[in-house]
Amino acid sequence: MVSKEVDTVAIDWDTPPVDPLTSLPQARDLGELGLDPAQRTQAHLLHERHGHAVYRLECGARSFVLKWFGDPAPAVEVSNYALLQANGVPTLPVHGRTTNALLLEDLSNSQDWRAAVETDVGYAETGVGVAGWYRALHAAGQSVVGSVSGPPHLRREMDGLDAQTVRELAQQLGNADDTLWALAADSIEPLKAAMCSLPETLTYNDFHWTNLALTRHGSPARRAIVFDYHLLGVGLAASDYRNVLPGLKGQAQAAFREAYGPIDARAALLDAPVALLYSLSVAVRRPRFPPWGERCLQSVRDGTFERSLREALSVLEDRHAGRQGGSQDVPGVDPEQATRVRACAYRHREGKPRWPAPR
């Protein structure tokens, strides 16, 4: 999955605060957010991007962070906060909400929580806290995703991948005639079907320390809250597990592994090549190819992608042969398609120079 690309936010505290009633034309009645209209309210714009603006509101002796969406239609984060809270997943305290706004705890003035700093990702207690949050998310998510009335707005990251998009991706990267990419194109639908056959849950998809809140020093045990839920989706717990690991270092990473516990090895194998394809598909759409995209390309160049693809295909072959749970075929996979993928994998292992074009 995509590594987070950090936006640097410069806050000019010398700039006079703006009138929130002018700055927030679609949220004029701040009373709807639980604020006392009689108190003096000032608003500092912290940043504005991706269709929303974030303000610090000063209301008397208190301060809040207001996340405001110009159009209620894409304000999925408002719904996602409500979804997580309704299912017992810890979030930042929400002091008010409307259809297009969230009034959140101001971490700079919170008695209980603080914003993480980069050095936090090396401490063991951070890894334990992050593991606790993800375990809560994934435990609740299994019930949410498994319900008949599961949230219709949540998507899987892999939904945008199919054989055609993989071929187009290969062409964009200058690998149109590469047999490895032909194998990837032929394999993507069986791999997706195999992933969907495994237990799914809610996935966060975007771990980075800039989206992390930690209990303040002096707390009996460090707890963590991961926030910003615009990319919340559906997928495998193993996908989220993989997404977290690069964002933690040293003792924190080891503590996260131990505290989270074991993951489904099959899910991890199936996820690896699909995640890399998804990340590259996002990278090529950026105006400038990002550094994390270059790291993905290096995985293609050094053989990591090929190894992960072969290992994922071995899961399909094992399941087809009945060596995984007695299944004769991967649920949801056309047997003829699975046969073709196995034949493609065999040809690739034999080192054939070209791949037959799909009919």
For 216-241, the pLDDT digits (tens) are 875 667 899 999 999 999 999 999 99
**Res 1: pLDDT:** 52
pLDDT at residue 357 is higher than 70:
no
What's residue 45's pLDDT? 86
Mean pLDDT computed over every residue of the chain = 81
Looking at the DSSP bridge assignments, the partners of residue 96 are 103
Q: Looking at residues 159-180, what average pLDDT do you find? A: 89
> What are φ and ψ of residue 129, in 5° steps?
-65, -45
Percent of the chain at pLDDT > 70 equals 75
What's the CATH number of domain 118-349, 3.90.1200, 3.40.190, 3.40.50, 1.10.1060?
3.90.1200
Q: Are residues 290 and 264 in contact, defined by beta-carbon separation less than 8 angstroms?
A: no
Enter the DSSP assignment of 52: E
Note whether 239 and 196 are within 8 A (CB).
no
Using CA atoms, how far apart are residues 134 and 259, in angstroms rounded to an integer? 10
* Among the listed residues 42, 49, 48, the one whose alpha carbon sits nearest the alpha carbon of residue 13: 42
- Distance of alpha carbon 253 from alpha carbon 259, whole angstroms: 10
Length of the chain measured in residues? 359
CB atoms < 10 A from the CB of 50, how many? Answer: 10
- According to the CATH classification, is domain 20-110 in 3.30.200? yes
Cβ within 8 Å of residue 197, ≥6 positions away: 330, 331, 332
Lowest mean pLDDT segment, chosen from 62-71, 165-174, 190-199: 62-71
**212, 116 in Cβ contact below 8 A?**
yes
Contact 185, 344 (CB under 8 A): no
The candidate with the shortest Cα–Cα distance to 162, out of 300, 289, 278, 266, is 278
> Please, where in the chain does CATH 3.30.200 lie?
20-110
Residue ranges, comma separated, of all CATH 3.90.1200 domains in the chain are 118-349
pTM above 0.85, yes or no: no
- 187/169 Cα distance (integer angstroms): 14
Q: Is the pLDDT of residue 203 over 90?
A: yes
Do residues 100 and 26 lie in contact, with contact meaning Cβ atoms separated by under 8 Å?
yes
Beta strands in the chain (DSSP E): 41-49, 52-59, 62-69, 94-98, 101-105, 113-115, 201-203, 212-215, 224-226, 233-235
Do 43 and 67 contact (CB within 8 A), yes or no? no
Helices (H), 99-178: 124-146, 163-172
Q: Is there a contact between 346 and 310 (Cβ–Cβ < 8 Å)? A: no
Portion of the chain with pLDDT greater than 90, in percent: 54
For 10, the token pair is: 């410069």
pLDDT for res 98: 86
* Predicted confidence (pLDDT) at residue 18 exceeds the cutoff of 50: no
CB 179 within 8 A of CB 352: yes
Residue-level pLDDT at 114: 94
- What does DSSP assign to residue 18? B
Q: What is the pLDDT of residues 266-297, one digit of tens each?
A: 999 999 999 999 999 999 999 999 999 999 99
pLDDT band at 156 (very low <50, low <70, confident <90, very high): very high
CA–CA gap between residue 353 and residue 359 (Å, rounded):
19
pLDDT tens string 105-147: 999 999 899 999 999 999 999 999 999 999 999 999 998 987 6
